[in-house]
Amino acid sequence: MGEGWLLPDRLFDGQRLREGVGLRVAAGKVVEVGAAPASARRVRGTLTPGFVDLQVNGGGGVLLNTKPTRDGIATIAAAHRRFGTVAILPTVITDHRDVLAQSAEAVMAARDVPGVIGLHIEGPHISVSRKGTHASEHVRPMDAHTMEIVQRLRQNDVPVMITLAPEAVTAAEISALVEMGAVVSLGHTDATAEEVEAAMAAGATCATHLFNAMSPMLSRAPGAVGAVINSECFAGIICDGHHVADSMVGLALRARPRPDRMFLVSDAMASVGGPDAFTLYDAEVKLVDGQLLNTAGTLAGAHVTQAQGVARLVHHVGATLEDALRMAITVPADVMSCPELQTLVGRNASDVLLLDAACTLTATLEESLATVDSTD
């Protein structure tokens, strides 16, 4: 593999987008970032750490809910890696108790799978009226089963995000989850702004896919959307042009009272890197004009990658590339307390991406070095 100094047009170091800065590769890893010597090889495009996605239901034809195994998780992670997402939270949505337990065991068995951060438990402790595509027969208030699974994961040092509705849990249960070390995210909720604020006071620090499956913001009733936007908590958002209008994504970005509190999620399903149809809850979900629709015509997750989300943030929402990359790398790494995912130094060349002027993923650094080697 090629080694030595490389000088890209631009370099995102996990915090800032910089020009005139290079990186040095040795033994397949980035070992230094700084002023490049005159002998550095020029690289056209932007070098950046790979993307981080905290809401990945599936990929490569596999859903975690339908294949809650180590192999299933490995297939999902590999599918997203093809599109530049090098770190994921496999996500299990509302389902039978056994599916949640099996997903937890699978994630613990998959700790050696590259890019698997932990587990995102989305439901079943949500609002039936804001369930989206989640199966209503499995929706239930918080129970000891889920608490025990989260505790077991945390005792095994597995990071956990759990999405729940404030109306499905008590403040004491939220506090207990936080004390275990779980990231509590609010979503699939019909709660009032006051209920959301109380859940935040109890320790919730995040919100799941802002705008989608939550009580809307009205002039005299801020709802969950208004409470989240007006708070300092983190919030994920889907940027595929279907789940949230681009203008509303931009509005939310401008309205937050504190910077670096918005992050990009894909909410990706099995169709990413897989076939255009799959089964969820024994019913078919099809890709139609870029949207994944279940038999009721309801959106059932998303068919989008983080790379596409970054490009849309820049070209349709009007975000700077630096801000878009922070939303796809820096902020989600902060949410899960994984600073190593933000940096370049120490990363494998396969975890570093090359983007062209249109923000399109063209290669990994590993692939780019191999190309340089073949032409030397």
Q: Which residues are catalytic?
A: 267
Single-letter code of the amino acid located at 136: S
Give CA separation, 278 vs 54, 59, 95, 267, in Å: 22, 11, 17, 15
CA angle 115, 145, 124 (to 5 degrees): 70
SS3 label, residue 165: coil
Q: Is the dihedral of CA 374, 113, 24, 342 positive or negative?
A: positive
- Residue 96 neighbours by CB distance under 10 Å: 13
Cα(239)–Cα(253) distance, rounded to whole angstroms?
Answer: 12
| Residue keyed to tokens 């130094």 | 345
Strand partners, 204: none
What is the side-by-side strand order in the sheet with 51-56?
A: 51-56, 85-93, 119-122, 160-164, 183-186, 206-207, 234-238, 262-265
- Residue 155 neighbours by CB distance under 10 Å: 10
Terminal Cα distance for the chain, rounded: 12
Token output for 69: 């195994």
**Is the bond into 166 cis (omega within 30 degrees of 0)?**
no
Q: Under a CB-based contact definition with an 8 Å cutoff, are residues 261 and 200 in contact?
A: no
